[in-house]
Amino acid sequence: MKCIYYLGLREETLQLFQQQLREIQLEVVTAEDILTQKADLTVCDILLVGEQVENPVRIAQQTFSKDKAISILLINDRANHQKVKSALQFAPFVGPTIQAVSSELGTALVPIVEDAMQRTEQRRSYVRIRSASTSVTAFTPNYMEKVRVSYMTRVLDEAPIGAALLAKDGTVLNVNNYIVRLLGLSDKEILGIAFAAHFPEVERIALQDFITDGYLSKQKHIFELGSADDRKFLEISIGDIDANSSSPYKIAIVNDVTEAAQARQRTLAHIDELQKLNEELQRVNEDLDTFVYTASHDLKSPILNIEGLVNLLEESLSQEQLGEVPELDHIRRSVERFKVTIEDLTEVARIQRSFGQEATELKVADMVTDVQQLLQPEIEKAGAMIEVDTQQAPVILFSRKNFKSVLLNLMSNAIKYQDPQRQLRIHIRATLHDNRFHLSVQDNGLGIPAGRQERVFQLFKRMHMHVQGSGIGLYIVKRIVSNSGGTVSVESREGEGTTFTVSLPALTHS
């Protein structure tokens, strides 16, 4: 009866072995039994060193020094398994008979133990053969060559990859089990026939050419095997048995790459689908931009006509009559708001149409000065103090019109939403970091409520309704920046102020 020595196993691990290995005798030993050679290792098939042993590596070293044939398994929980495994790599006086495994494997430990016991038996059989009084002729070169050939044949036959011995014309002379399973045929159906004949007709000529001499220019090639319902993708490489001789034999190495090939096909299909969706979205965006552009221009004439009619009506009425028709004033204000909205929509359409506009080298400080001059009346009315720092990034390669639009919208936004309780301060700063240009516009205005900050870049969204505006300026900023491969972000605290940061690729002249 086979025997297992064990020490330090946890109760649940021991019960697992007792239940699963009923025909094997499990005998407990102590660390002292091992160290003092009290335990006879030769009558046992394996030593299991359990989770409760304090120094399992030392026990393994002592056991290996006394019996280099017995298998030793160091079983540890998840927390200590990796530690013991690493210790074995650097510990002296250990050999291939020692293996670290995790108790987390559960029932999977049983076949590992059975396999280790079988390897103990194989090692001991080998030792007996070597030590037996066998005649010297038993180990002649011819005998050892037969053993070597038998060993290599067994390894090749069970290899997890296909191997076929081919004649010079591609006829199959021998195959391993992997090829047999792959083709789903018997040996008799495979041997003596051209290897390419087992493939679909559309692949045969290409595969035969590859076997003949195509492999000389291309090391590997993928061929399809089977029908559409059960299609396999096989990576085949061909090599001469001996490139330095006139040997008429070749070897074909076959690897089933079906999963990888199908995954690649799915990926390409997804990419193609995404590309089509992207093209469709691009067409929709272009149609929307065209609609906005056309509608904004087509609406200008009727709104101007309405404004003209209101003017004529006001001129035809006396002052007393005008006082009796307050609706005219409401109509005029509505017309003005409508005109502003149309102008904003026109600007949105212009921004999209100007994508790809030629970039020029701009001096950031000069651009800020230009915008300050445009906003001078508003700046004076607000009593704003503006600080500009562009020393770290004095220039940027960008569209002049678009960069001016970004600055204008961010600065006018800061002026609009000033806090009436304190003097407005605006700090404009340009920096260069990680090959990106950063522009920040910071103010000490009203600030934006925390829950609304992500909505500020949406079309027609306004955070403070008491301030006049259309809610389109920040949307324009985001469109310009996004079209240029950049980002814009906002940081704000209500009652303290807001900082908008634009990040753009730091382009240079090519």
- Domain chopping of the chain, boundaries: 3-131, 143-256, 263-353, 360-505
pLDDT in the model for residue 135: 45
Q: Which residue has the higher pLDDT, 35 or 412?
A: 412
**pLDDT above 70 for 298:** no
**DSSP three-state, residue 105:** helix
139-143, 154-158, 195-199: range with lowest mean pLDDT: 139-143
Are residues 170 and 195 in contact, defined by beta-carbon separation less than 8 angstroms?
A: yes
The 3-class secondary structure across 449-475, one letter per residue, is CHHHHHHCCCCCCCCCCCCCCCCCHHH
CATH topology agreement for domains 143-256 and 360-505:
no
Helix runs in 132-220, H state only: 141-157, 177-183, 187-190, 201-212
Q: Which helix (H) or strand (E) holds 27?
A: strand 25-28
Question: For residue 353, how far is the Cα from the chain centroid?
Answer: 34
Evaluate if residue 173 carries a pLDDT over 80.
Answer: yes
**Confidence at residue 284, expressed as pLDDT on a 0 to 100 scale:** 72
User: What percentage of residues in the chain have a pLDDT greater than 90?
Assistant: 30
* Mean pLDDT to the nearest integer, 82-106: 80
Task: Look up residue 292 and give its amino acid.
Answer: V
* pLDDT score for 509: 53
pLDDT at 243 over 70: no
Residue 147 predicted with pLDDT over 90: no
β-sheet bridge partners, residue 427: 387, 442
More confident residue, 50 or 125: 50
DSSP conformational letter for 211: H
Query: What pLDDT is recorded for position 22?
Result: 86
Q: Rounded to whole angstroms, how far apart are CA atoms 198 and 226?
A: 9
Q: Which fold has domain 3-131?
A: Rossmann fold (3.40.50)
Between CA 385 and CA 339 the distance in angstroms is 31
Tell me whether residue 459 is exposed, middle or buried, using C-beta atoms within 10 angstroms of its C-beta: 0 to 12, 13 to 18, 19 or more: middle
Residue 477 above 70 pLDDT?
Answer: yes
Give the 3-state secondary structure percentages of the chain, helix then strand then coil, rounded to 5: 50, 20, 25
Tell me phi and psi for residue 19, to 5 degrees: -80, -35
What integer pLDDT is reported at residue 136 of this predicted model? 45
The answer on pLDDT for 34 being more than 60 is yes
**Residues 330, 333, 338, 344: what is their CA dihedral angle, to the nearest 10 degrees?**
-160
Please report which confidence band the pLDDT of residue 453 belongs to, taking 50, 70 and 90 as the band edges. Answer: confident
Determine the CATH number of domain 360-505.
Answer: 3.30.565.10
Tokens 């056991």 identify what position? 63
Rank 166-180, 313-327, 366-380 by mean pLDDT and report only the highest.
Answer: 366-380
Find which of 263-277, 329-343, 368-382, 457-471 is predicted with most confidence, using mean pLDDT: 368-382
Indicate the burial class of 166 (C-beta count within 10 angstroms; 0-12, 13-18, 19 or more). Answer: buried
pLDDT at 352 over 70: no
User: 143-256 domain in CATH 3.20.20.70?
Assistant: no
Least trusted range by pLDDT, from 142-151, 276-285, 410-419: 142-151
How high is the pLDDT of residue 295?
65
Assess whether pLDDT exceeds 80 at residue 242. no
Q: How far apart are CA 470 and CA 476, in angstroms?
A: 12
Please give the C-alpha separations between residue 44 and each of 41, 68, 117, 250, in angstroms, as whole numbers. Answer: 5, 13, 9, 48
| pLDDT(362) > 60 | yes
Mean pLDDT of 328-336: 77
d(CA 259, CA 237): 18
Check whether 390 has a pLDDT greater than 60.
Answer: yes
Output the six-digit token pair for 452.
Answer: 């609304």
pLDDT at 39 over 60: yes
According to the per-residue pLDDT averaged within each range, which of 171-185, 347-361, 449-463 is highest?
Answer: 171-185
Q: What is the pLDDT of residue 143?
A: 59
**Arithmetic mean of pLDDT over the chain:** 82
Spatial distance between the Cα atoms of 434 and 339, rounded to a whole number of angstroms: 43
- In 3D space, the residue among 251, 204, 267, 256 whose CA is nearest the CA of residue 233 turns out to be 256
131-135, 180-184, 327-331: least confidently modelled range = 131-135
Alpha-carbon dihedral of residues 117, 122, 123, 126, nearest 10 degrees? 160
Query: Does the CA dihedral 50-51-55-61 come out positive or negative?
Result: positive
For strands 436-443 and 425-433, give the pairing.
Answer: antiparallel
Pick the CATH number of 263-353 from 1.10.287, 1.10.1740, 2.60.40, 4.10.860: 1.10.287
Contact (Cβ atoms closer than 8 angstroms) between residue 110 and residue 17: yes
What mean pLDDT comes out for the span 301-309? 77
pLDDT of residue 468: 55
User: Do 417 and 498 contact (CB within 8 A), yes or no?
Assistant: yes
Output 507 or 353, whichever has higher pLDDT: 507
Residue 463 pLDDT > 80 = no
Which has the higher per-residue pLDDT, 58 or 427? 427
| Nearest by Cα to 480 from 343, 299, 354, 339 | 354
